[in-house]
Structure 1
């Protein structure tokens, strides 16, 4: 049974060109299902030894077990979606005769409006690194301006390479894979901050001359998602923004502020 899981994960990586984070989530979700099935026996004491042994009742019991463990409804929905995709893949490739999730209803998820902060708070946050003069502060200014100007996802931002940046055209190419890459225009502030970082900030952080990562940490390595979150958290504290702010907050604020300026939903 684990063989089919690994085959599916390989499919996500190679055929779908899914991101490492997506594959890791599927690996965790399907591994959790496998562990549950390994310890499962029906009313007659029969164990589950193949994927063909799995039926709708077993999957429903599994979903109930997730709820019993107090997972958030959004987490349960994600895990169910992963399981349904996995079984659909096995049906398509002839690994199983019947899809036990075909009639499984997807859990309802409570929808919450995305958290945003005001123009004024964004402005204070963007100006925070300018009070210092160091390679790190120039990096922080460039990444905050880029994050807000483009609405880029956190993973996209930290995965940027130097070659993704086109200063002459004023844009940056981002995306998890070649098929899903897009060009994001930079505004004047982001371009100015990026130029300063590339000329005076990044040279003070780079350790290996052939390092391709655009945003570097103090060790000269690619900045991580966690590193970006800590940077934002530090500046939020410095400028006394009382509301919780994460990289996703800036992303949602970017979209909200665009809409408030009259941009269409398609543009956003």
Structure 2
């Protein structure tokens, strides 16, 4: 079963050897977990409670949410494969919700840094230097995004 899944990853999905190794390791770790905790030695007997339990166990071991989601993605792919091959009737990952990844706050430039940048002789007095300095001042003072700046039109200004 694992070998046919590996062949599927190699020949149909065309995943890299590194990705395939990660998938095999994730499935092996999950398999060891259900053997130890549930005394189950056949992955065809897995239910969504076991998967959820494993994810909680990984969280308790202080794994990052990103790593846990990658491992869960492996299981989802594996059980989708088993369903496609008619080895299982229902995909146990369907009832499991992956942990949410927190969004990182953007880093901000300090006032001293912007003053140093604008006071620097980086910007020439020709058209391009004045344009570039104006772009930086607009982005900094308004907090607008790059895409918003790109889409500005003449009639957007008073």
TM-score tier by shorter-chain length is 0.5 to 0.7
Separation in 1 of the partners of 2:82 and 2:61?
28
Q: CA deviation at 1:111?
A: 2.9
Aligned pair partner of 2:27 in 30, 38, 42: 30
Quote how far apart the aligned CAs of 1:61 are: 0.8
Q: CA RMSD in A?
A: 2.4
Aligned partner of 2:45 in structure 1 is: 53
1:122-133 superposed matches below 5 A: none
CA distance in 2, matches of 1:79, 1:53: 19
Per-residue deviation, 1:5:
2.1
Pairs within 5 Å for 1:100-249: 100-112=92-104
The one of the two structures with greater contact order (alpha-carbon pairs below 8 A, sep at least 6) is 1
Superposition pairs of residues 11-90 of structure 1, within 5 angstroms: 11-41=8-38, 47-90=39-82
The answer to whether the 8 Å contact 2:79/2:93 transfers is yes
Q: Deviations over 1:165-220 (max 9, x none)?
A: xxxxxxxxxxxxxxxxxxxxxxxxxxxxxxxxxxxxxxxxxxxxxxxxxxxxxxxx
Using structure 2 for the length normalisation, give the TM-score: 0.63
Q: Distance between the aligned counterparts of 1:108 and 1:40, measured in 2?
A: 25
CA contact (8 A) 2:59 2:68 kept: yes
Q: Deviations over 1:4-31 (max 9, x none)?
A: 2222122111111111221121111111
Task: Return 5+ residue gaps in structure 1 as ranges.
Answer: 42-46, 116-257, 263-268
Task: Give 1:90 deviation, angstroms.
Answer: 0.3
Greater share of residues in helix: 2
SS at match of 2:94: coil
Alignment check: 8 A CA contact 2:31 2:43 kept: no
Cα distance in 1 for residues equivalent to 2:3 and 2:94: 22
Give the Cα–Cα distance (whole angstroms) in 2 for the partners of residues 31 and 15 of structure 1.
21
Q: Distance in 2 between matches of 1:113 and 1:11?
A: 39
Are residues 112 and 21 of structure 1, via their aligned partners in 2, closer, same or farther at CA, if it must alter by over 3 Å?
Answer: farther
CA distance in 1, matches of 2:25, 2:105: 28
| C-alpha separation in 1, matches of 2:100 and 2:94 | 17
Check the 8 A contact 2:26/2:74 in 1, yes or no: yes
